[in-house]
Every structure is written in structure tokens, then in C-alpha cells.
């Protein structure tokens, strides 16, 4: 095993309660783990040494919500929204048609391209979903392709009811043969609990079938209007409920009193011309929030977590520290990957060696200089990847 000393870190954001934020710091990587964190002057020699010249460093972004296994293009739909047409879930069907028609190689190439794009901007741990196949065979191959390229895979067969199927028949497929086919390849099951997709009873049916198979639960909820998504997620102990654009006081209270993370998707809110999710309100109530890209071809075609962080600071009234935490350790909590050996979203001994070096003296520049590419170097699972 080879050890690497990364030194000359002007500002190190660790997300660790004891270590906090360090100045003139260093990190030692041993294989795929963080071996040591502390003042640069106290670091022991290593097999290799990299001096980052006073730049800021932080944990790599943890993008806990993406949809990368797809084919086709929805530029026209985006243009229509920008011209005033409201967003609905109907455009998903166009991506389903294109995805079914694409080859495995074409789908895999898209996933590789988008993962590489994300890593080059500091993302080091990434979840992605199925959900654009919606047949047993197409969802199974989507899960297989996703598992080859992403850190975490979520089954989203309950994305919409495909046009060629009735809701009852489709749910029987989702909770039976489709779930059986993907279960060995995924860790999570998600459901789009929303008008135009699945109602509360249908969503609960999907989630309970997933729980019976020992899979973790996630929910798309409260994106288009107040609805049952948050209540369902909290009641069933889902790891996260994602979107959270429209929340009642009861929803906020429920999230604040639970372990369910509210994952906010600001790039999606902007692209669909929805209100931005109430990040400040959630934090002030005591809820845990994450920020994620929701990278997908229809409602949020971006892999830039830095854009999400800048938006959260400039438009959702988060501090820089709050937004950075939500995009790193918050995302890790949403994936239940923030504790124990190999934890992500945090820099401490034993954590996975995911490090994002900025071409800036402070993480504040992520919002201070919005839109400017600031990623100088990335270590992903102990390997320099950018």
C-alpha cells in the first residue's frame, strides 16, 4: 500500500465535530482511507507528497440523487418551460421510449460521461436511479449498468405508469417480478409519490414490498404541490424524501422530529420554474437537509454540485458552511454512508479518502464566485481522479 501526504492546505473543512475547520493543514491517505488529519507541521513523511499551495480543501461532493441511465434529449421541453409552459411528469415517457430503444453500450457511455463530468467538478460519491426502462428487462439492465458506474443504485420502477400499462397491473409488476430482478443490484427503492405518478396508497405498496426484501427506502415527494410524500417517508422510516418544494407546517415538524433527510434539489427547482425548497425553514426547525443535483435529461440536466451550493447560499438563505455540509455530509446521511469505517462526506481517520481541492483560499469562494470552475484536484477513494 502507498501513502500520500497532501499538504499546504490553507483551509481544510473536515465536517468532523472534533476536528472542525483547520488552517495550514495536511491529510495523509493510506490506500483508500484517510490515515491522518492535522496541522501540516505535524505530519509524518509518506511515500508520496503533494503540496496544494495554500488552497482550500473539503470532502468530495456526495450527490445523493441522480438519474443517469437514460437516452434521448428533452431540449424542446426545456425551451417550452422557459416560454411559460408548466412542468409536469409527462415528459418522463419520452425518455422512457428513447431509453428502451438504446443499446447497452449507448446507455453505459452516457453514464460514464456524466460520472466523469461530475468527478471533474469535485463529486466523489454518487447515487443514481433506474426508472427510464419500466419493463422488467429494461429496469434490470438499467440497474446493472448503474451498478457498474455509481457508488449507490436505487430502483425507481415506480417512476410513472408507462403509457402501455394500467396502474394496477404495472404496480403488480413493480412489486413482484421487476423488484425481484433488480434486488441483487440495488440498495434502495424509490417511488414518485406525486400527482400524475403514484398516490399515497400505491407508493406505500411499493415501499413495503421493498422493505420486505431488506432494501432501503427513498421517496420523491412534495415536488409539485403539498402532498403525502413527506408523511409517508417519515412514517415508514425512509432514509430521505427528495424535492420537498412544497411543505406544510406538519411536514416540516415531521422531518424535524425524524431521521429522514430532506434532500433539496435547487437546480431542478430553477429548471422547472418552481419555488425553491424552504431550506432555511427546514434547518431552523431542526431538520437535516442534503443538497443534490437531480441530474437527469428533463428537469435538471446538470452535474454541478457547486452550482447547487451557490444557489442554496445566494437564493435559499443558507450560510456557506451549511450549504457545503448539506452537499457533503448531508448527502452522506441521506445515503446512510456517513458513519463507520469508509464513511463519506467527512475527513477523519478511517473515512474514505475523498478529497476536493479548490483553486481558491476558502470554501466561501464557491458562492462568492458563482459559476467559476474552482476544482483544482480530486482524490476519489484514495486515487487522484482529476
- In this prediction, residue 89 carries a pLDDT of 65
- Pick from 385, 380, 321: nearest CA to 351: 380
Confidence of residue 163 (pLDDT cuts 50, 70, 90): confident
Tell whether 339 is covered by a domain. no
Q: Which region, left, alpha or beta, applies to residue 339 given φ > 0 means left and ψ of -120 to 50 means alpha?
A: beta
Q: Does residue 138 have a pLDDT over 70? A: yes
Examine the domain organization and report whether 263 and 364 are in the same domain.
no
Tens digits of residue pLDDT in 190-211 = 999 999 899 999 999 999 999 9
**Average pLDDT of the chain, as a whole number:** 97
First-to-last CA distance in the chain?
Answer: 21
Encode 235-273: b = buried (16+ Cβ within 10 Å), e = exposed. Answer: ebebbbbbbbbbbeeebbbbbbebebbbbbbbbbbbbbe
Q: How far apart are CA 206 and CA 55, in angstroms?
A: 47
Q: Does residue 302 have a pLDDT over 80? A: yes
- In this prediction, residue 1 carries a pLDDT of 74
Tell whether 340 is covered by a domain. no
Q: Of 195-199, 313-317, 330-334, 350-354, give the lowest mean pLDDT range.
A: 195-199
Q: How far apart are CA 338 and CA 5, in angstroms?
A: 23
Q: Does residue 111 have a pLDDT over 80? A: yes
**Collapsing DSSP states into helix, strand and coil, what is residue 33?**
strand
Query: Mean pLDDT throughout 161-176?
Result: 94
Q: What is the CATH number of the domain that holds 101?
A: 3.20.20.140
Tens digits of residue pLDDT in 46-65 = 999 999 999 999 999 999 99
Q: How far apart are CA 274 and CA 112, in angstroms?
A: 30
- In this prediction, residue 88 carries a pLDDT of 72
Q: Does residue 179 have a pLDDT over 90? A: yes
- In this prediction, residue 44 carries a pLDDT of 86
Cell numbers 480543501 label which residue?
57
Cell numbers 452535474 label which residue?
303
Examine the domain organization and report whether 9 and 75 are in the same domain.
no
Say what the pTM is.
0.97
Domain that holds residue 268: 61-334
Residue 79 neighbours by CB distance under 10 Å? 10
- In this prediction, residue 311 carries a pLDDT of 98
Tell whether 17 is covered by a domain. yes
Examine the domain organization and report whether 256 and 375 are in the same domain.
no
Amino acid at each position: 500500500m502507498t501513502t500520500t501526504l497532501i499538504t499546504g492546505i490553507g483551509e481544510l473543512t473536515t465536517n468532523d465535530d472534533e476536528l472542525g475547520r483547520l488552517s495550514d493543514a495536511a491529510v495523509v491517505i493510506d490506500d483508500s482511507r484517510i490515515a491522518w488529519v492535522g496541522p501540516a507541521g505535524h505530519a509524518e513523511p509518506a511515500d508520496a507528497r503533494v503540496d496544494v499551495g495554500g488552497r482550500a480543501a473539503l470532502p468530495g461532493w456526495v450527490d445523493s440523487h441522480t438519474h443517469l441511465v437514460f437516452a434521448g434529449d428533452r431540449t424542446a421541453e426545456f425551451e417550452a418551460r422557459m416560454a411559460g409552459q408548466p412542468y409536469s411528469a409527462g415528459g418522463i415517457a419520452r425518455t422512457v421510449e428513447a431509453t428502451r430503444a438504446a443499446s447497452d453500450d449507448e446507455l453505459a457511455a452516457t453514464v460514464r460521461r456524466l460520472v466523469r463530468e461530475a468527478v471533474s467538478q469535485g463529486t466523489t460519491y454518487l447515487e443514481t436511479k433506474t426508472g427510464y426502462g419500466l419493463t422488467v428487462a429494461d429496469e434490470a439492465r438499467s440497474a446493472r449498468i448503474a451498478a457498474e458506474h455509481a457508488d449507490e443504485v436505487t430502483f425507481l420502477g415506480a417512476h410513472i405508469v408507462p403509457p402501455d400499462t394500467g396502474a394496477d397491473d404495472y404496480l403488480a409488476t413493480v412489486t413482484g417480478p421487476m423488484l425481484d430482478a433488480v434486488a441483487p443490484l440495488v440498495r434502495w427503492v424509490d417511488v414518485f409519490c406525486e400527482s400524475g405518478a403514484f398516490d399515497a396508497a400505491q407508493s406505500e405498496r411499493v415501499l413495503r414490498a421493498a422493505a420486505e426484501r431488506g432494501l432501503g427506502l427513498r421517496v420523491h415527494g412534495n415536488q409539485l404541490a403539498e402532498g403525502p410524500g413527506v408523511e409517508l417517508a417519515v412514517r415508514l422510516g425512509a432514509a430521505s424524501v427528495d424535492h420537498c418544494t412544497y411543505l406544510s407546517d406538519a411536514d416540516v415538524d415531521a422531518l424535524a422530529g425524524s431521521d429522514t433527510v430532506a434532500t433539496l434539489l435547487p437546480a431542478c427547482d430553477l429548471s422547472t420554474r418552481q419555488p425553491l425548497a424552504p431550506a432555511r425553514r427546514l434547518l431552523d426547525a431542526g431538520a437535516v437537509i442534503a443538497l443534490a443535483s437531480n441530474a437527469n435529461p428533463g428537469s435538471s440536466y446538470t452535474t454541478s454540485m457547486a452550482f447547487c451550493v451557490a444557489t442554496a447560499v445566494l437564493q435559499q438563505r443558507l450560510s456557506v458552511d451549511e450549504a457545503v455540509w448539506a452537499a457533503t455530509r448531508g448527502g452522506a446521511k441521506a445515503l446512510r454512508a456517513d458513519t463507520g469505517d469508509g464513511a463519506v462526506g467527512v475527513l477523519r481517520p478511517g473515512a474514505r479518502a475523498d478529497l476536493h481541492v479548490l483553486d481558491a483560499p476558502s470554501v466561501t469562494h464557491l458562492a462568492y464566485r458563482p459559476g467559476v470552475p474552482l476544482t483544482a484536484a480530486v482524490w476519489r477513494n484514495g486515487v487522484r481522479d482529476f
